[in-house]
Amino acid sequence: MSEADCLFCRIVAKEIPARIVHETDRTLAFRDVNPQAPTHVLVVPKDHYPTAAALAAADDGLTDEVIRAAHEVAEQEGIAESGYRLVFNTGPGAGQTVFHVHGHVVGGRDLNWPPG
């Protein structure tokens, strides 16, 4: 898939509408269209990296910014103190379906362990 075909790149470019809840110069956070909890927000870097591994390998502080943005979303959504889960599915075997790295901020209910 090219970056031009990437769903999340198109959301970042505002070509596809999304319910944006947080934005910085290098990150964007928007509500998941298929929420798995009362709070389910995706946090993406605006630049295209297909997986968390690719982001980590190319990191110039952007990984930190994505995680910082995820925590800011959790605070904004009122789940930071009660707890939230931050999930990065990496690769098809882990359930990644959109190959633009994204962290799921999930909370607002008790989250069981182990997951799925």
CA atoms of 30 and 20, how far apart (whole Å): 4
Tell me the CA distances in angstroms from 94 to 26, 58, 80, 98, one per residue in order.
25, 21, 25, 12
CA atoms of 8 and 3, how far apart (whole Å): 9
CB 70 within 8 A of CB 86: yes
CA atoms of 73 and 76, how far apart (whole Å): 5
Active site residue 100: no
Q: Which residues are catalytic?
A: 102
